[in-house]
Structure formats: structure tokens, C-alpha cells
Amino acid sequence: MCAAVYVLSTVTGYVLTSALLLKCPNLLHRKKRETFVSKHISHRGGAGENLENTMMAFKHAVDVGTDMLELDCHLTKDEQVVVSHDGDLQRTCGIDTNISDVTYAELPPYLCRLGVTFQRECFCEGGEDKRIPLLRDVFDAFPNTPVNIDIKVNNDTLIKKVSELVVKYDRAHLTVWGNASNQIVRKCYKENPHIPVLFSLPRVLQLLGLFYTGLLPFVPIKEQFLEIPMPSIITKLQDPSRLTRGQRFIAWLADTLLMRKALFDHLTARGIQVKLHLW
Ligand SMILES: *[C@@H]1O[C@H](CO)[C@@H](O)[C@H](O)[C@H]1NC(C)=O
Ligand SMILES: *[C@@H]1O[C@H](CO)[C@@H](O)[C@H](O)[C@H]1NC(C)=O
Ligand SMILES: *[C@@H]1O[C@H](CO)[C@@H](O)[C@H](O)[C@H]1NC(C)=O
């Protein structure tokens, strides 16, 4: 009897504390400094409007008032950080070569027409600009625009070079970087903890585990951005017949578990930005 009372009061105490801290996280955690607000993100600099990841696409996106450019980085053979989604040039340039196997000077121009990954059967007619840009070009052209950098290769030199550029252009406060792989995100954070990082996929799962066990309000979080593609939208965009049952189940589960106002409000109160990708 006595033990039961003890267990019950402990559990009640835990639940109440957890609920209180979930509502008011700043009792325990100092709110992260919100470096920039980004409501409208241009994926690959607004693929669909211009050739993806070109300076022209970025310029257009900034001109129409985007809050943040989202771009992907690779490393050339001569260790230049370039902005490109794919690591190989087959889809974008029609040439069967990897970016890491050619120098920047040797990179071919983009094809005139690129399929837009997120819209089936949609092609984008490119304009004049067909050059694969350097990350440095983007930083030069848009010194005040926040940039979300996806590190596309698990390569220490790439991570180091991106960090060096961010430092050189003094824009750690305008940058967030990461990858779905937690290994890459850990390397990024280790390389330069002053640059905000995204939640990797394993960390999103961990986040859910912490949230549903009530532990989340008690643990510190290093990430500053939670970017999640609305799971239900992914399943709509992909050809449904190409999704396996497993993938459909995961999308449904993610939708159900992740889309929780209490979770989003808690993260926001801790200074962690939550972004739902809509494309
Ligand atoms: C590009 O790199 C991948 C490994 O990342 C390799 O499998 C592929 O053969 C390479 N392609 C070319 C054309 O060298
Ligand atoms: C990183 O990329 C550079 C340039 O492409 C390459 O020379 C180097 O071998 C890569 N490092 C690793 C660990 O893959
Ligand atoms: C993460 O990195 C892997 C290589 O390790 C790459 O294939 C993938 O496209 C990257 N994903 C994102 C979202 O950047």
C-alpha cells in the first residue's frame, strides 16, 4: 500500500513537472537566440521558376522576397564548394561524371531543360544562367539573406570548407546547415558549434521518443531548426503506386506523431524554429 502511494505520487509529480515544463520550457532552458525568421523558403532557390540552384534562381527568389534560400553543396576535385543538388552531372548536365571527379573550371553548363523533382511532369525552361555556382558566389551576392545549406556528402573537407566560408563572410547568424544523416550533423556541429544545425532524421525520431515519454522538457537540445516535409504531402507528390506499403505507413505514422501543436509550441518557446516544407 505504502509502495503504491509512493509510486503514484512519483508518477504524478513527474507528469505534472513534465507538463509544466512542456508549457513553460524557459523555466529550465534559456531560449535560443533566434537568429532569423524564415517563413518563405525557396527550395533549391526556387526550382520550378528558374533552373534550380543557379544564381539567377537565387536572385529571382530574393527579388520576390523569399526569407531564406535552401541549397545543396558538393565539393569539386580541386576542393571548391559548389551549389548543386546532385553529386553527378547526369540529370542536370547530361554528362556521366561526378562533381568530385572534375575541377570547378571543368564543370559543364546545365542543360536547358530540367525536370523539377517535386512536380511530376514539370519541366523548367532555363534562362541565360546555366552555370553551377560556387557557394562563395551566393554569399557575395546575398550578404543578408539567410541560407539553409544541405551538406550532400559525408566529406570532412566539404564540412570544413563550408564552415570556413561562413566564418569568412561572417554569416553564422544567417546560416543553418545539416543533413538527414546524424553523422554529418554531428560533424558539422563539431566543426563549428556557432552555426545552427538542423535536426537529422534519427534526431527527429529521438525527439518524438522524448516528447511522448514526457522527457523532452528536461533535456537540452543542440539543434535550432526542425524542418519537416509534411509527410502527407510527400505521399501525394510521389507517384503513390511507387510507394511501398512500408513507406506509406511511415508517412502516415510521421503525420500522426509529428503534427502536434504542443510539440511545435514547446520547441518554438525554446527558440527552435519549426518549418513545414510545402514546396
Ligand atoms: C560517381 O560516384 C559513385 C559513388 O559515389 C560511383 O558509384 C559512380 O560510379 C561514380 N560515377 C562515375 C561516372 O564515376
Ligand atoms: C572529400 O572530397 C575531396 C574532393 O572531392 C576528395 O579529394 C576527398 O578524398 C574526399 N574525402 C573523403 C573522406 O571522401
Ligand atoms: C545527406 O547526405 C547523403 C550522403 O551522405 C546524401 O545522399 C543526401 O542527399 C543528403 N540529404 C540531404 C537532405 O541533404
- Asked whether residue 123 carries a pLDDT value surpassing 50, the answer given is no
Domain ranges of the chain: 35-197, 199-279
The pLDDT tens digits of the residues spanning 4-16 come to 999 999 999 999 9
Give the binding-site residues of ligand 1, using a 6 Å CB cut-off: 88, 96-98, 101
User: How many angstroms is it from 152 CA to the middle of ligand 2?
Assistant: 12
Q: State residue 120's pLDDT score.
A: 41
Interhelix angle 261-269/2-23, nearest 10 degrees:
70
pTM of the model: 0.85
User: How many angstroms is it from 148 CA to the middle of ligand 3?
Assistant: 14
- Asked whether residue 269 carries a pLDDT value surpassing 50, the answer given is yes
Q: How many Å apart are CA 66 and CA 58, to the nearest integer?
A: 9
User: How many angstroms is it from 154 CA to the middle of ligand 2?
Assistant: 9
Backbone torsions φ then ψ of 177, nearest 5 degrees:
-140, 165
pLDDT, greater one: 112 or 172: 172
43 Cβ closer than 6 Å to some ligand 3 atom: no
Contacts 24+ apart (CB under 8 A), 26-29: 26/269, 26/270, 28/217, 28/218, 29/220, 29/270
75 Cβ closer than 6 Å to some ligand 2 atom: yes
Lowest mean pLDDT across 13-17, 196-200, 231-235: 231-235
Q: Which CATH number fits domain 35-197: 3.90.550.10, 3.30.700.30, 3.90.1150.10, 3.20.20.190?
A: 3.20.20.190
Q: What band does 175 get if pLDDT is binned at 50, 70 and 90?
A: very high
Q: Is 94 left (phi over 0), alpha (psi -120 to 50) or beta?
A: left
pLDDT, greater one: 96 or 155: 155
How large is the average pLDDT for residues 204-213?
94
How large is the average pLDDT for residues 105-115?
74
How large is the average pLDDT for residues 252-261?
84
User: How many angstroms is it from 76 CA to the middle of ligand 2?
Assistant: 9
Atom of ligand 3 lying closest to residue 181 CA: 1
Q: State residue 230's pLDDT score.
A: 65
User: How many angstroms is it from 115 CA to the middle of ligand 1?
Assistant: 22
* Nearest CA among 118, 107, 111 for reference residue 42: 118
- Asked whether residue 47 carries a pLDDT value surpassing 70, the answer given is no
The pLDDT tens digits of the residues spanning 149-171 come to 999 999 999 999 999 999 999 99
The top-scoring range by mean pLDDT among 66-80, 127-141, 218-232 is: 66-80
Residue nearest to atom 7 of ligand 3 (CA): 152
Cβ atoms of 93 and 111 closer than 8 Å: yes
How is residue 132 written as a grid cell?
553551377
pLDDT, greater one: 18 or 249: 18
